Amino acid sequence: MNRHLRKPIADDEIRAYAEDGAVCVRGQFDREWIEHMLAVVEANLENPAGRVLESGADEPGKVIANSHMARSSEAFMDFVRHSPAREIAARLMGLDEVRFFYDQLFVKEPGTRMPTAWHHDLPFWPLAGNHVASVWLALTPVTRETSGLVYVAGSHRWDTMYRPVPAVPREGFALPEADGFPDCPPFHREFDNPAYRFLSWDMEAGDCIVHHPLAVHGAGGNPSEAVRRVALSCRFFGGDIAWYGPRTQFNIPGAEDADLEVGVLPADDDLFPVVWRAG
Ligand SMILES: O=C(O)CCC(=O)C(=O)O
C-alpha cells in the first residue's frame, strides 16, 4: 500500500482547490489500499467502531454515516496515518504540516432515495478558519447519477455560514452559536441557472475529492440496483485553524476533557496528532 504520493500534486489541482473549493484528485491510492479499506469497511458495517448513524428503516435502501472510527479502530487509524490522504490534503492547502481531525464513512446502499442535503461542513464543527480539508475517497466507482457529490464552485468564498442540519434530524442539534444562520438553498433547483457553476466527477475507486470546509455540496440517492456507494472521508487541518467551541452537538470524542483554548490552533497531540510533515 503506497504511503507516499504516486505522482506530485499538480499546480492545476492546487489552483482548482483554491478557486473552486473542491477538486478531484485521481490515481493517488493504489489497488491494495482500496481492496484493503473495502474489507475494513465491510468489517465495520458488521461490527461498527466509532459512532453509528443509519437512515430510518422506513426509507428504501440505507445510508450509513458512521464517524470517528479511527479513534477506536487500528485499521482506520492506519489509513489516516499512512495513506497518501494526509499529504494530498497538506499539498492542496499549501501546508508543511497537518493534523488529523476526524474520519467518516458514507455508504449508500443500492436503491437508496435519500439525498445528501446541500450543506457545507464548517457550521457543524467547533473550528474557525480555512485550513481544514476533507479527502473523500471513493472506494467504489461513483457517478453523479449514483450519488456522486456535486459542488457549487466558488461557494467557499461566499462568506456565509448555512444552518447545520444533520442527515438524520436530531432535536437541539444546532446550538445557539448557530442561531441566525440561513438555510442552505436547494441548489439542485439551480442546475440550469448560469449564475452558478456545478462540479461533479465520474470517479473510479481510488479517486478522491478534496473540499474546503465552506464548499457547498450535496448528492442524490443511489438508484443503482447493484452497486453500493462507499466513500471514506478523512479531515485534516493546520495553518490558520483555531478552536472555536461547539456550534452543534457534533463533537470529537475526548475533546470535552481536553484543554482547548478558543482562538488557538488545537495542538493536542493525542486528540489531533500530526500525521504529515514536509520532509
Ligand atoms: O458522501 C456523502 O454523501 C456526504 C459526504 C460529505 O458531506 C462530506 O464528506 O463532507
Is the C-beta atom of 231 inside 6 A of ligand 1? yes
**Which residue's CA is the nearest one to ligand 1's atom 9?**
233
> Is the CB–ligand 1 distance for residue 233 below 6 Å?
yes
Atom of ligand 1 nearest to the CA of 219: 3
Name which residue leads in pLDDT, 166 or 58.
166
> Is pTM beyond 0.95 here?
yes
Question: Residue 66 contacts by C-beta under 8 Å, 6 or more apart in sequence?
Answer: 44, 48, 49, 50, 51, 52, 53, 104, 105
Query: What spacing in Å lies between the alpha carbon of 257 and ligand 1's midpoint?
Result: 28
d(CA 172, CA 126): 16
Write the CB contacts of 259 (distance below 8 Å, at least 6 apart in sequence): 268
| The C-alpha cell that represents 214 in the structure block | 465552506
Superfamily of domain 11-238: q2cbj1_9rhob like domain (2.60.120.620)
The share of the chain scoring above pLDDT 90, in percent, equals 89
Torsion of CA 215, 221, 224, 228, to 10 degrees: 70
Per domain, the residue ranges of the chain are: 11-238
- All three cell numbers of 123, joined, read 457550521
Q: What pLDDT band is residue 52 in, cutting at 50, 70 and 90?
A: confident
- 152-207: pLDDT as tens digits: 999 999 999 999 998 777 889 999 999 999 999 999 999 999 999 999 999 999 99
What's the pLDDT tens digit per position in 80-121?
999 999 999 999 999 999 999 999 999 999 999 999 999 999
Residues of the chain with pLDDT > 70: what percent?
Answer: 100
